[in-house]
Amino acid sequence: MQASLWSTRGHVLQFESAQGSAQCVGAARLGAVQVTAPVFNIWVQVRGDGWIESREGRFRMRCGDWMAFEKESTPLIQTGARGVCIGVALDARALESLQALNDGSLYAGRGRVPAQDLRMLLRLWRGAAAAGDDGVAVRPLLLQLAAVQRDLAARVRRCPGRSRLRKRQVFGRMQRARLYLEGNSDRVVRISELADLTSFSSWYFSKAFHALYDESPQALSVRLRLERAGLLLRTTSMMIGEVAAATGFDNCCSFARAFKSHHGMSASRYRAARAAKATATAV
């Protein structure tokens, strides 16, 4: 375990090599971290907002969000003017140690940290960073991060594979594909892209994905694109045709049908209703 590395005030920290089995890294106030070292890394936005760009796409980070990446993802973490994002980079030895501690692991993915756990995570991160080379000090932090991912861990048992190790391997690949769908909600993602990303055949990938997430990759892609469309209608002044194009729909007619089916109302009515609600809340 090594002391923490910080990036702040516009500085870009290049994290190119791991100096220990686990290393605390952070960014604050327009700081950025570029991870190029072949390590598993997990990030938690503990204040303000930020962005993460990786091979899986671009993601907005809000206070309480967490994201984790496999070693091939090489993410760039960028914080906003008031943002603080903390992270931990783990090599294979650290991940094996975690499995030995609680028969679990950490996985690629994204989610939310319960508000009551966010302060605890920050305290544990600070304690691990201050401990320097004391590898024992990082264990409570890793266990807490594993607890944050408990919903993901429960899904591993649903993966195909005879051994627990094989199930974990399959799950890791499927999670990377899911992240890719979430990071590319501005376009149609082909099954062949996802299959190549996981090194599975298209048939095997589609079957495993549906068994794991209870919906097909195509259905998830459409849902994510329509959720993005709703966000754009709420937060921008883009015309409806521009929103359709920005979410991968070829024409306004197909977008209108899909949007109404998903949101229960037309795009124009959706925007008007959300604007009226925002006005009423502000009064």
Scored b (16 or more CB within 10 A) or e, 188-212 reads: ebebebbbebbebeeeebbebbeeb
The position carrying tokens 């991160």 is: 125
What distances in angstroms separate CA 236 from CA 124, 229, 233, 243, 244, one per listed residue?
Answer: 38, 10, 6, 9, 13
Q: At what angle do helices 191-198 and 217-235 cross, to 10 degrees?
A: 110
Q: What is residue 3's predicted lDDT score, i.e. its pLDDT? A: 46
Whether the pLDDT of residue 202 is over 60: the answer is: yes
Whether the pLDDT of residue 96 is over 80: the answer is: no
Q: What is residue 108's predicted lDDT score, i.e. its pLDDT? A: 93
Residues 6 or more apart whose Cβ sits within 8 Å of residue 51: 58, 59, 60, 61, 77, 78
Q: Which of 48, 73, 42 is nearest to 60 (CA)?
A: 48
CB 50, CB 27: distance < 8 Å? yes
pLDDT (tens digit per residue) in 102-127: 656 889 999 999 988 999 999 999 99
pLDDT (tens digit per residue) in 219-269: 999 999 999 999 999 999 999 999 999 999 999 999 999 999 999 999 999
Mean pLDDT of all residues in 164-193: 93
* Euclidean distance between CA atoms 265 and 276, whole angstroms: 15
Per the document, the length of the chain is 283
Average pLDDT score over the chain = 90
pLDDT (tens digit per residue) in 37-80: 999 999 999 999 999 999 999 999 999 999 999 988 999 999 99
Q: What is residue 182's predicted lDDT score, i.e. its pLDDT? A: 96
257: how many CB neighbours lie within 10 A of its CB? 11
21: how many CB neighbours lie within 10 A of its CB? 19
Q: Give the max Cα distance, the chain.
A: 60
- Reported confidence tier of residue 6, pLDDT bands at 50, 70, 90: confident
The position carrying tokens 């009551």 is: 116
